[in-house]
Structure 1
Amino acid sequence: MNDYGEIFKWRQKQIHQVSTNHVQLNTFHDEIIRKSVQVSMDKVQREWGPPPAPFAFFLMGSAGRFEQSIWSDQDHGLIFHGPPDCKDYFLTLGNEIAYGLSVTGYVLCEGKVMASNPLWCHSIRDWKLQLSDWLTEASWASLRHFLTFFDSRVLVGDADFINEVKHFVFRFMENQPKLYIRLIENVEFMKKGVGVFGQLLPELHGKQTGNIQLKQTAFFPHVNALRLLALKEKILKPSTLSRFHQIKYTYPEIYNFEPYFNQLLKFRLRFQQNIKSYQQAHLIPLDELTKLDKKELKLLMKKGYDLFSKTNKIIKNE
């Protein structure tokens, strides 16, 4: 496939064959994105020449964690091993990648967390400087950027570039233990999905009225808890399931929540087979849920809140 249009047609033709299996679906997303990036690289190389330095293209967000649903937006960056004057080339590549992925079915990130943004395209050295600045500032926004970066995974290029930067972060955090508390404060607000009488709480206003916000009420507690433990335990892999398995023996009481996160991934896919856009990707209409569905969803939400609470106590106590 030599152009974005062909890749999009291939995506449309194939995606429903893998849409009911989490691993197969995310493997397919990786293939689409990898092919799109290759087309972008070929196009920029024809116009600008070969890359001036070795580099890696990495995913963040749900793509970085290997947790995409059928539809997804873009979250990605570039890291290169070379002097700062290489940046213009890689920003050009980042722009082309963002455009290409928008054609192949991934909407542009509203927060501009993309390799086309100078904030997410740096040399190894400048990535370390930026991350240390974010952690030193420790504002809500800077820590949000940091946590986004930490869920990174190289898809094209040398994974050692990202690993080197993450090891730098681990050393930085060792000398700033109070940062863990700031990071907890950054993510501890959770949108409630279950009311005081045990009822599910749908959106009450706007276009999302009548829908459950699955991402905020069910996924975030699991994802945020395991990300915090991954930082503490110096775990490089970004997927929530990988993080669960790597803390299995250190925190068995946390690992006991892993089946519920697996169940949540399957639950989401069950209700996404007929959605037509990214805007619907994290919403479940309350009136489509059976009595058993509602019971299952409330359980998964409760387990997420319990998991985050236990993780919070572990980090504060240790």
Structure 2
Amino acid sequence: MEPMKYAESEPDLEGIRYAASREQLRNKRQVCQTQLEHLYTLLPIEAWTSLVNDMHDDVAARAAAICEYELEAAGYGPPPVPYAFVVFGSSGRRESTLWSDQDNGLIISDEVHEEKEMYFHTFGRHLSNLLEYLGYEKCKGKVMCSEPLWRKTLEEWKRQMTSWHQDFSWEPVRNLMIASDMRFISGERPLVMAWKQFFERSMNESPEMATAILRNTVRHKATLNVLGQVVTERFGEHAGDFDVKYGVYIPLVNSIRYMALQEGIGETSTLKRLEKLSLLDGGNMLFENCQRAFLTALTLRASASFTVKNGVYSSSGYLPQSELKKKPLLYKLRDSLTTVRRTHRALQRRLRFAERRRS
């Protein structure tokens, strides 16, 4: 497609970057959101997803700046020490949909200041509430800068990661997997670089954690039955619908993340991880199949219906059964799920081998 056909409709990111108040930022995000909705059918899914995440990044960075202004106006003063505002989850991977929820945290300098803890406790809560006002639903799993687990000084983060590496149960391993997708948004980038260096060194020193991550990775809901038919929800309000997020998107994200971590690949984007994996093993058709399946997953996630309540965007992430009756879409979905199944079987064999070596 020729760029000129949509160049004039590109989203107004400049308006977001220079918004002077929370009200103006919310308005600019809503305008940009509408522009991106119109662009969905005009752009390849990779290009469209990149623009969506440019918007989210700019809103998040501007929100952090406005949060500072608002706290200073309320008498808290400026930040007492440097900090970095970071994102995790689909935001960390730059794969957010238009309606993705919050997944963020803070890395705070180790510099000594008596007001540091109180300030960033207030800052984290204020920023999370501000992001909700701007349209971002709060994370049900509480991966947010308002939570002490995801708001720490650099030294506290190092102790936390060390603790996670010593516990191979589900929750600590899950937290490490979330942390591996961390990405810088605003503030002091050297804090993020130091955090990443420690994370990568810890991963290299913990082969047992790699097996624990693999164990978490191969757990996923059944998506194809023995006849190769797509498995839909059996009960509840989404009976007959297909769970795009946990049926195809997350299994691919987790599998590719595990393989990337094993190879020491520092990228957080799933597509960039696949690109690096392909360069390391160019003859492996698995990565080409995964890329095709992943682009299908992105397309299906982006086309899911969403709601707006009090200015907050949210989506169930389900593909309605009416869409499953469209044969071209169903064939693409089935092809993607076949790739998911083959990938997981390969990883299950790797897990059985790793566990036999341990015993």
TM-score greater than 0.5 by the shorter chain = yes
Structure-1 residue corresponding to 2:331: 295
Deviation, 1:298, is 1.2
Looking at structure 2, the residues matched to 231 and 141 of structure 1 have their Cα atoms a distance apart, in angstroms, of: 18
Whose relative contact order is higher, 1 or 2, with alpha carbons under 8 Å and at least 6 apart?
1
Structure 1 position 13 matched with structure 2 position 43: no
Q: Distance in 1 between matches of 2:253 and 2:178?
A: 11
Q: What CA deviation, in whole Å up to 9, does each residue of 1:266-295 have, x standing for no partner?
A: 2332x23x5225553411101123122111
Q: Is the 8 A contact 2:165 2:206 kept in 1?
A: no
**Equivalent AA in structure 2 for residue 255 of structure 1:** F
Whether 2:121 is the aligned partner of 1:70: answer no
Which structure 2 segments of 5+ residues have no match?
1-18, 41-47, 355-359
The RMSD of aligned alpha carbons is 2.1
One-letter identity of the residue aligned with 2:181:
D
Q: Which amino acid aligns with 2:271?
A: L
Relative to structure 1, the CA distance from residue 119 to residue 244 in structure 2 (aligned partners, 3 Å threshold; closer, same or farther) is same
- Conserved 8 A contact 2:214-2:347: no
Q: Does 1:94 align with 2:130?
A: no
What fraction of aligned residue pairs are identical, expressed as a percent?
28
Give, in angstroms, the shift of residue 152 of structure 1.
Answer: 0.6
Q: Which residues in structure 2 correspond to 1:48-59 (within 5 Å)?
A: 48-59=76-87
Corresponding residue for 1:242? Answer: 272
Deviation at 1:184, TM superposition (A): 1.0
Separation of aligned partners in 2, 1:91 and 1:237? 30
Partners of 1:180 and 1:140 lie apart in 2 by: 13
Amino acid at match of 2:330: K
**Structure 1 230/73 Cα, relative in aligned 2: closer, same or farther at 3 Å?**
same
**Amino acid of the residue matched to residue 91 of structure 1?**
H
**Which residue matches 1:3?**
21
Work out whether residues 26 and 67 of structure 1, in 8 Å CA contact, stay in contact via their aligned partners in 2: yes
Distance 1:237 1:159, change over 3 A: farther
1:242-285 C-alpha deviation (Å, 9 max, x unpaired) = 2112222213324322233123212332x23x522555341110
Match of 1:103 in 2: 133
**1:267–1:34 distance in 2 versus 1, CA, 3 Å:** same
2:142 and 2:62 map into 1 onto residues whose CA distance is 22
Q: Are 2:306 and 1:275 equivalent residues in the alignment?
A: yes
Q: Aligned equivalents of 2:273 and 2:262: distance in 1?
A: 11
Q: Which runs of 5+ in 1 are unaligned?
A: none
TM-score, normalised to structure 2, is 0.82
* TM-fit CA distance, 1:112: 1.1
Verify the 8 A CA contact 1:64 1:238 in the aligned structure 2.
yes
- Give the equivalent residue in structure 2 for 1:31: 58
Q: Amino acid of the residue matched to residue 288 of structure 1? A: E
Q: What is the aligned residue count?
A: 316
Q: Say whether 1:305 aligns with 2:336.
A: no
1:1-318 equivalences in 2 (<5 Å): 1-19=19-37, 20=40, 21-46=48-73, 47-83=75-111, 86-252=116-282, 253=284, 254-256=286-288, 257-269=290-302, 271-272=303-304, 274-277=305-308, 279-289=314-324, 290-311=326-347
Moved over 3 A (4+): 308-318
Whose radius of gyration is greater, 1 or 2? 2
**What is the alpha-carbon distance in structure 1 between the residues aligned to residue 139 and residue 287 of structure 2?**
32
For 2:77 and 2:129, how far apart are their aligned partners in 1? 19
